[in-house]
Amino acid sequence: MAALKDVSFSVPERHIFGIIGPNGAGKSTLFGVISGAIRASQGRVRFRGSDVTRLRSDALVHFGIARTHHIVRPFRAMTVLENVLVAVHYGRQSAKADAKAQAISALERVQLAPKARMLASALSLGEQKRLEVARALATNPDLLLLDEVCGGLSGAETRAMLDLFQQIRASGTTILYVEHDMKAVMSVCDRIAVLDFGRKLAEGTPAEIQNDPAVIDAYLGSGMLGTNSIA
């Protein structure tokens, strides 16, 4: 059985590209294939002209591709700073020399710098999700793969997270964003691909997706988008 079939799309540089789909659509499998966690039996993942299909996740990091996890996986017995520092040390080399300064600047980007000396296990879920993003950012990626980072966050936390995505994109990093939360995806993405039963159903701008009859029929249903564009 194939979890994914004939799914093909390309992510333009400096875009926030969203992938949505109902449970079991294959979002997580697709994410795993791109991030090196799952071996694809067929197909290719290309990054800047290079074939990265068979690379393990640590090699991908050195190619400039970093990921976060759907369920947060901080190093709980390390401080917040150490979590990010180890990512600076082992991630892709950046021009800046001082590792600690880089780690602190990654924490500042997610507003966790004041908690740098706390143990990661002492953070709230929202903070741990931000730490997850900071740790991925600290590897100095060109492409950031985000797996449902807004799940379980409050409204205010989600808005702050989406603002952060805009800032990350503005700094030159491309984002591939897999998400269940429809409103979040619609509000922040430049382009969206919709998956259903392992196939790509549609791809386009948020407005195009919202008005795509196939998407509405197969998956979204009327009113699900939370906008007025669908009666």
Partner 1 sequence: MKRLIASFQPLFAAGILLVVLLLPILGLTPNVIRILFITFVWITASLAWNLLGGVAGQVSFGFAVFYGLGAYAAALMINAGVNPALSFVGSAAVAALASFLIGIPTFRLRGPYFAIATIGVSEAVRVVMNNISAVGGAGGLRVTERGIFHQTEHYYSGLAIAVLAVCVSLLIERSKFGLALRAIRQDEDAAADIGINPFRCKLWIHAIAAALTGVAGGVFADYAAYIHPQGVFAFSTSVTILLMPVIGGIGTIWGAVLGAAVVTIVEEQLVAVFPQVHLLLYGLLLMLIVLLEPDGLVGLLRRMLRRMHVDPSSRGPDEALWGRGRLEGREL
Among the candidate windows 21-29, 79-87, 168-176, 197-205, which touches partner 1 by CB under 8 A? 79-87
User: Which residue's structure tokens are 């180890």?
Assistant: 86
C-beta of 36: minimal distance to partner 1 in Å?
8
Smaller CB separation from partner 1, 58 or 163: 58
Neighbouring residues of 71: CB distance < 8 A, sequence distance ≥ 6: none
Smaller CB separation from partner 1, 6 or 58: 58
Q: Which residues of 180-194 are buried (b: 16+ CB within 10 A; e: fewer)?
A: ebbbbbbbbbbbbbb
* 94 binding partner 1? (CB under 8 A): no
* 79 binding partner 1? (CB under 8 A): yes
Contact 203, 191 (CB under 8 A): yes
- x/- track of binding to partner 1 for residues 126-165 (CB under 8 A): ---------xx-xx--------------------------
State the Cα–Cα distance between residues 91 and 127, nearest whole angstrom: 22
Smaller CB separation from partner 1, 2 or 71: 71
* 171 binding partner 1? (CB under 8 A): no
* 109 binding partner 1? (CB under 8 A): no
State the Cα–Cα distance between residues 174 and 65, nearest whole angstrom: 10
Amino acid at 113: A
C-beta of 57: minimal distance to partner 1 in Å?
5
* 38 binding partner 1? (CB under 8 A): no
State the Cα–Cα distance between residues 188 and 164, nearest whole angstrom: 10
Phi-psi region of 3 (alpha: psi -120 to 50; beta: other; left: phi over 0): alpha
* 78 binding partner 1? (CB under 8 A): yes
User: Quick one: which of 211, 210, 207, 171 has its CA closest to 190?
Assistant: 207
Smaller CB separation from partner 1, 35 or 158: 35
- How many residues form the binding site for partner 1 (CB under 8 A)? 32
C-beta of 61: minimal distance to partner 1 in Å?
4
Q: Are strands 65-67 and 143-147 parallel, antiparallel or unpaired?
A: parallel
The footprint of partner 1 on residues 46-75 (CB under 8 A) is 56-58, 61-62, 66-67, 69, 73-75
Neighbouring residues of 142: CB distance < 8 A, sequence distance ≥ 6: 48, 64, 65, 172, 173, 174
Residues that bind partner 1 (CB under 8 A): 35, 37, 56-58, 61-62, 66-67, 69, 73-79, 82, 85-87, 89-92, 99, 119, 121, 135-136, 138-139
